[in-house]
Structure 1
Amino acid sequence: MKKVITDQGQGDEPTSTTPLKSKGKGRGKRKNKKRAKEILPLWLELPEEIWPNILQRLEIVEILLTAQKVCTTWRRACKDPSVWRVINMPIGSQYFNFDKRHTYEEMCRHAVDHSQGELVDISLAFYATNKLLAYITERSGKLKRLSISWNYSKLSLVQVVQKLSLLAELSLTEIVITREGIEALGSYCP
């Protein structure tokens, strides 16, 4: 059931996918347009404070590429920094493509910017670079968890961890790191 806004006010009326029938050629069209000026789905009437919770269930790539383009309500909700507190851009995403490394780095930067300093958890993959990690570190003073996987470039993780005073968890999977690098990281991570 959809909410129909008419000239008389609001009311719940069932809607159909078939167009309204007119009473002959040219008659009744104006009346039908007035009666059903705007048909709104009921989900648009949800309180604005629950939209971030709903959007957080999507992958960041989905929010950046599709969700914020659905309607103005979703676009406004996508601007809420609480949606971007956790950034997870997994390799298994349907949008992921190893040939587009710079695209994912750019999307990650946009997501970090949308967080407006509220980022607390981020998971990165092969597209993580020293430049991207520096960007995240400068803009994410509240970061508590950093996860990097499938990355074979030499990352300056010690410098990153030194700057993230609230970091409580560092997860490194399938990355290149020396024994000395692990020991140095251990001295900065609780």
Structure 2
Amino acid sequence: MDEDSSERRWEDMELDILVRIFKTFNIIELTSGISRVCSTWRLACSEPMLWKTLDLGLLKSNYIKIPAAPYVWVSDSSDKRLMRLLKVALGLSRGTITCLIFHYDLYLKDEHLIYTAERCPRLKQLVLPAWNQITKGGICKAIRIWQDLESMTMPSIVHPPYIMEEIGKSCKNFTELKLMGPCDVLFASTLATWLPKLKVLSLRCTVLTKEALILILDSMMHLEVLNISHCVLREVPEPPAPKRVLLELDETIIGKASRLREFYTCLEDSCLMSQRTKADEGLIRWYKYEEWLWRMDEVSSLSVAMEQHVEVGGGGSIVPS
């Protein structure tokens, strides 16, 4: 080698090459290591290409301990670790995030959700399958910030009108919804009232009443895609007649659904997912099954595939103290 030549340093590499390399790393590596090496690497870590999607579902939950289902609790220290991670990630993203994915057993609080909403106001897709620790005021405040929201995955809630009303008022481009919980007549009527222009609806792997299904098909005339795969479909007759589970769709439902562009359904006993939903009585316990399974959907736009999996469970920490 010539004596006047020198080795090229990593920090002198072109930004576009660094960005392509950094695309192969996960959120933990980007936020707790790579972005702290030098100013050039931090600049590369802020490239919008890396932050279209913030996938916190990549983390194997380290915030919630589940010693024996269904016991779940959250500690103050885990809340602080989560906030530190959010601060670094959202600082690097510079407001460019359009898709935000949370883990189904990551129980956020108002402070986490609102902090996140204020720093990614351009959000279009939100995957938030659990919000047990979030108040009505917290979720409504976040929704008001996300006026560009088009798609949402949400858990079941006992009294749904307030969230559907907030989405209907604040998110004029909202067209897709996935519900990870029971759907009854109350929920169906709320959808028809506040989201009449909804185009895509997924109710897979849950309890669905026949009455709610008919109400959706009759009232939501803009609906194009409906997924009721692997549901426990129940009929609720007038008392004292007992509820009963339907093993197939009748001609009335098939006829009403014929106007849809796509109608996904599976009630087959031979189907593994249908077996699991029935075994869990329509309230599927995702923690018992494959880590990635809760992310899947027959509707491609609602399926959030896992690119990488980060093992940070047990005694591991999310970000350095």
TM over 0.5: yes
Matches of 1:122 and 1:150 in 2, distance apart?
A: 13
Asked if structure 2 preserves the Cα contact closer than 8 Å seen for 1:152 and 1:176, the reply is no
Matches of 2:9 and 2:117 in 1, distance apart?
A: 42
Asked if structure 2 preserves the Cα contact closer than 8 Å seen for 1:105 and 1:127, the reply is no
Matches of 2:63 and 2:141 in 1, distance apart?
A: 29
Match of 1:132 among 98, 101, 112: 112
Does the residue aligned with 1:171 lie in a helix, a strand or coil? strand
Matches of 2:59 and 2:158 in 1, distance apart?
A: 23
Q: CA deviation at 1:111?
A: 1.1
Asked if structure 2 preserves the Cα contact closer than 8 Å seen for 1:147 and 1:172, the reply is yes
Q: Which residue pairs with 2:246 in the alignment?
A: none
Q: CA deviation at 1:8?
A: 3.8
Match of 2:124 among 144, 147, 165: 144
User: In the alignment, does 2:131 pair up with 1:164?
Assistant: no
Q: CA deviation at 1:45?
A: 7.5
Does the residue aligned with 2:101 lie in a helix, a strand or coil? strand
C-alpha deviations, 1:63-115, integer Å up to 9, x for none? 1122234566534422434433321112644x834352320122112211222
Identity %: 17
- Unpaired runs of 5+ residues, structure 2, are 65-74, 176-321
TM-score normalised to the size of structure 2? 0.40
Match of 1:111 among 89, 93, 100: 89
Go from structure 1 to structure 2 and tell me whether the alpha carbon gap of 1:39 and 1:186 turns closer, same or farther (over 3 Å shift).
Answer: closer
Matches of 2:126 and 2:20 in 1, distance apart?
A: 21
Q: Which residue pairs with 1:183 in the alignment?
A: 164
Matches of 2:158 and 2:13 in 1, distance apart?
A: 48
Asked if structure 2 preserves the Cα contact closer than 8 Å seen for 1:105 and 1:128, the reply is no
Go from structure 1 to structure 2 and tell me whether the alpha carbon gap of 1:92 and 1:186 turns closer, same or farther (over 3 Å shift).
Answer: same
Does the residue aligned with 1:149 lie in a helix, a strand or coil? coil
Asked if structure 2 preserves the Cα contact closer than 8 Å seen for 1:68 and 1:74, the reply is yes
Match of 1:96 among 55, 59, 62: 62
Matches of 1:167 and 1:64 in 2, distance apart?
A: 26
Higher helix share: 1
Superposed CA RMSD: 3.2
Go from structure 1 to structure 2 and tell me whether the alpha carbon gap of 1:149 and 1:106 turns closer, same or farther (over 3 Å shift).
Answer: farther
Asked if structure 1 preserves the Cα contact closer than 8 Å seen for 2:51 and 2:97, the reply is yes
Runs of 4+ in 1 over 6 A off after TM superposition: none
Go from structure 1 to structure 2 and tell me whether the alpha carbon gap of 1:158 and 1:78 turns closer, same or farther (over 3 Å shift).
Answer: same
Asked if structure 2 preserves the Cα contact closer than 8 Å seen for 1:151 and 1:176, the reply is no
Q: Which moved more, 1:131-140 or 1:63-72?
A: 63-72
Go from structure 1 to structure 2 and tell me whether the alpha carbon gap of 1:167 and 1:177 turns closer, same or farther (over 3 Å shift).
Answer: farther
Matches of 1:8 and 1:105 in 2, distance apart?
A: 49
The amino acid across from 1:172 in the alignment is M
| 1:42-121 paired onto structure 2 within 5 Å | 47-69=14-36, 73-90=40-57, 92-93=59-60, 96-98=62-64, 100-121=78-99
TM-score normalised to the size of structure 1? 0.63
- Unpaired runs of 5+ residues, structure 1, are 10-36
Go from structure 1 to structure 2 and tell me whether the alpha carbon gap of 1:177 and 1:71 turns closer, same or farther (over 3 Å shift).
Answer: farther
Matches of 1:177 and 1:56 in 2, distance apart?
A: 40
